[in-house]
């Protein structure tokens, strides 16, 4: 094998390339590979883009020797051990491997998983996927926030299909579906989660803006009191399973995990990164996307619009799979959004500023901040600009009815 990478790179990459070559039915006598590391996205794993090139072997005929075949892959590895506990890497890798091995057969609009291994030594665990950017022409959206409506609607049509396939699988292959669901490991929302203090500290940062603007003191006081224990009293309630609307959720439905391709004037969508899949209300996915990527535009008219588009796509897919749609009315979806729509808002109170680029660095930089200081830092990052966006968004969600179940 030939590679211009460092010895450290070769030490872990060479065996993976050997396995990939074998799986793809390629020889390994003359292989070269080039590695690039993305630096413009926020990942909880070590991510590498690898171009693997197989040259013809000396024993091949002259025609074959003229041909050089290659494939582009994405390799996900565990982050350094110092970060694994912070982001719960073992659980994330377990969930993503589980998704590809047990569920992707039902929802197949995903990158092909070429190889995956969950080893006792976490640093040896790896996931190898096809690179759908080079293979199929998909790319990330350049708008990380204030996302254009067309991209939002395309993402919502496809997440509706993702949810509908889960409803169908739950109905037609109940045992297999719940065997998969019950093996998913919790990453973020167990009672002892490190997220607890972050949610509790950042939940009311919008009140700094609302009080300064002289907004209704009684409302501000009631909201502040209600959010005293946001994680325990609200977040853990939002994620509770409630049938029949519970479905398989992506769990990290953000623009970084969605790839787009324009084809015949239509935006097509493919999802990546299933490390945080979970079973629960579809609103967990929908509210996360809207509150992070449409924060300034999220008023009642816009929310009605995107929920209608989502619901139309959901019903269409259910009918295509011969599933009775009686349990999935628009009214039930609307009411569920009122009940759980603040889920995404509370995520935005600590992550919107990061999505807007107000923080330089990646997850490794957060690991260096003392655990007791991180919630304080996240409450302040982005300053008054983010406080104002959050304050206005809270009032718009109030108008929609998302505080009816809270206050």
User: Which residues, in sequence order, are bridge partners of residue 249?
Assistant: 278
Q: Within a domain: residue 347?
A: yes
Last residue of a domain, one of 135, 152, 184: 135
Domain boundary among 112, 135, 158: 135
Confidence of residue 370 (pLDDT cuts 50, 70, 90): confident
* Pair 17, 122 in one domain: yes
Mean pLDDT computed over 166-191: 96
Task: Give the least confident one: 6-10, 147-151, 278-282.
Answer: 6-10
Q: What is the DSSP string of 106-122?
A: TS--S--EEEEE--SSG
Same domain, 183 and 49: no
Structural domain harbouring 321? 137-400
CA dist., res. 278 & res. 20, Å (int): 29
Is residue 389 assigned to a domain? yes
* Residue 340 confidence (pLDDT): 98
Do 37 and 20 reside in the same domain of the chain? yes
Which has the closest alpha carbon to 52: 166, 141, 135?
135
The whole-number average pLDDT for the span 126-135 is 89
Q: Please list the helix, strand and coil fractions of the chain in percent, rounded to the nearest 5, in that order.
A: 50, 15, 35
Angle at CA 39, nearest 5°, toward 38 and 41?
A: 90
> Exposed (0-12), middle (13-18) or buried (19+): which is 86, by Cβ within 10 Å?
middle
The contacts of residue 272 (CB under 8 Å, 6+ apart) are 110, 111, 129, 132, 257, 258, 259
User: Which one-letter DSSP state was computed for residue 70?
Assistant: E
Give percent above pLDDT 90 in the chain: 67
**Are 242 and 258 members of one domain?**
yes
Q: Is residue 406 part of a domain?
A: no
Q: How far, in Å, CA of 347 to CA of 358, rounded?
A: 16
| CA atoms of 351 and 292, how far apart (whole Å) | 8
Q: Token pair of 8, please?
A: 């450290």
- In the three-class reduction of DSSP (H, G, I as helix; E, B as strand; rest coil), residue 194 is classed as coil
354-363 pLDDT, tens digit each: 999 998 766 5
Q: What is the pLDDT of residues 222-262, one digit of tens each?
A: 999 999 999 999 999 999 999 999 999 999 999 999 999 99
Please state, for a pLDDT cut of 70, what percent of the chain lies above it.
87
For residue 118, being part of any structural domain is answered with yes
CA distances from 329 to 36, 163, 326 (A): 46, 14, 6
Please indicate, yes or no, whether residues 238 and 89 belong to a single structural domain of this protein: no
Same domain assignment for residues 233 and 273: yes
For the segment 5-15, the average pLDDT, to the nearest whole number, is 65
Does residue 59 lie in a domain region? Answer: yes
Number of domains composing the chain: 2
Question: Quick one: how far is CA 95 from the chain centroid?
Answer: 12
48 CB neighbour count, 10 Å cutoff = 20
The more confidently predicted of residues 69 and 403 is 403
Give the chain's mean pLDDT: 88
> Is residue 159 domain-shared with residue 295, that is, in the same domain?
yes
Q: Mean pLDDT across the stretch 274-297?
A: 97
pLDDT of res. 4: 45
Domain of 395, CATH number, reads: 3.90.1200
Whether residue 405 lies inside any domain: the answer is no
386 vs 41: CA distance, rounded Å: 20
Q: Kindly tell me the burial class for residue 13, based on how many C-beta atoms sit within 10 Å of its own C-beta (0-12, 13-18, 19 or more).
A: buried
Condensed to tens digits (0 to 9), the pLDDT of residues 146-165 reads 999 999 999 999 999 999 99
pLDDT at 118: 85
> 211-225 pLDDT, tens per residue?
999 999 999 999 999
pLDDT of residue 122: 66
Query: Looking at the structure, do residues 315 and 229 belong to the same domain, yes or no?
Result: yes
pLDDT exceeds cutoff 60 at 42: no
Which tokens is 221 given?
Answer: 């006081």
Residue 304's pLDDT is 96
Instruction: Check whether residue 332 and residue 375 sit in a common domain.
Output: yes
- Considering the domain architecture, whether residues 334 and 217 belong to the same structural domain is answered as yes
For 280, residues 6+ apart whose C-beta sits below 8 A from its C-beta are 239, 240, 241, 246, 247, 249
Of 88 and 156, more confident: 156
Give residue 190's pLDDT band: very low, low, confident or very high (50, 70, 90).
Answer: confident
The answer to whether residues 331 and 211 belong to one domain is: yes
Would residue 318 count as lying in a domain? yes
CA-wise closest residue to 347 among 271, 186, 192, 239: 239
Verify that 270 and 143 share a domain, yes or no: yes
Q: Higher pLDDT residue, 13 or 358?
A: 358
In a domain, 356, yes or no: yes
Burial profile 321-341: b = 16 or more Cβ within 10 angstroms, e = fewer: eebeeeebeeeebbebbbbbb
For residue 149 the two structure tokens come to 């409506």
pLDDT digits (tens, 9 = 90+) for 56-74: 655 555 555 455 577 889 9
Whichever domain contains 71, its CATH number is 3.30.200
Domain final position from 109, 135, 161: 135
At residue 32, the pLDDT reads 77
Task: List, in order, residues 6 or more apart from 329 with CB less than 8 Å away.
Answer: none
pLDDT of residue 13: 80
């Amino acid at each position: 094998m030939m590679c211009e990478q460092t010895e450290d790179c070769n030490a872990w990459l060479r065996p993976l390339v050997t396995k990939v070559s074998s799986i793809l039915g390629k020889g390994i006598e003359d292989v070269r590979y080039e590695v690039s590391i993305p630096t413009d996205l926020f990942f909880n794993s070590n991510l590498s883009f690898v171009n693997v090139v197989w040259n013809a072997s000396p024993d091949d005929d002259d025609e074959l020797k003229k041909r050089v075949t290659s494939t582009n892959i994405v390799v996900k590895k565990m982050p350094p051990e110092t970060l694994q506990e912070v982001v719960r890497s073992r659980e994330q890798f377990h969930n993503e491997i589980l998704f590809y091995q047990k569920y992707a057969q039902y929802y197949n609009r995903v990158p092909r998983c070429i190889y995956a291994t969950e080893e006792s030594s976490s640093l040896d665990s790896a996931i190898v996927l096809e690179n759908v950017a080079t293979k199929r022409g998909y790319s990330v959206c350049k708008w990380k926030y204030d996302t254009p409506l067309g991209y939002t609607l395309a993402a919502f049509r496809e997440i509706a299909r993702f949810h509908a396939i889960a409803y169908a699988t739950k109905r037609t292959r109940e045992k297999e579906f719940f065997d998969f669901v019950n093996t998913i490991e919790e990453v973020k929302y167990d009672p002892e989660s490190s997220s607890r203090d972050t949610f509790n500290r950042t939940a009311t940062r919008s009140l700094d803006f609302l009080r300064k603007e002289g907004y209704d003191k009684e409302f501000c006081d009631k909201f502040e009191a209600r959010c005293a224990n946001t994680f325990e009293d609200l977040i853990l309630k939002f994620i509770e399973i409630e049938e029949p609307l519970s479905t398989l959720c992506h769990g990290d439905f953000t623009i970084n995990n969605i790839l787009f391709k324009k084809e015949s004037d239509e935006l097509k969508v493919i999802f990546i990164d299933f490390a945080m899949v979970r079973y629960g209300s579809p609103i967990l996915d929908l509210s996360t996307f809207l509150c992070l990527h449409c924060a300034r535009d999220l008023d009642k008219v816009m929310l009605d619009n995107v929920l209608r588009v989502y619901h139309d796509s959901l019903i269409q897919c259910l009918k295509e799979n011969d599933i009775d749609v009686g349990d999935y009315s628009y009214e039930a979806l609307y009411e569920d959004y009122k009940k759980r729509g603040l889920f995404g808002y509370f995520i935005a109170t600590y992550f919107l500023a990061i999505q807007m680029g107000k923080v330089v660095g990646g997850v490794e930089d957060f690991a260096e901040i003392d655990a007791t200081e991180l919630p304080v830092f996240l409450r302040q990052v982005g300053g008054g600009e983010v406080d104002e966006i959050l304050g206005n968004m809270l009032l718009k969600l109030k108008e929609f009815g998302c505080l009816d179940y809270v206050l």
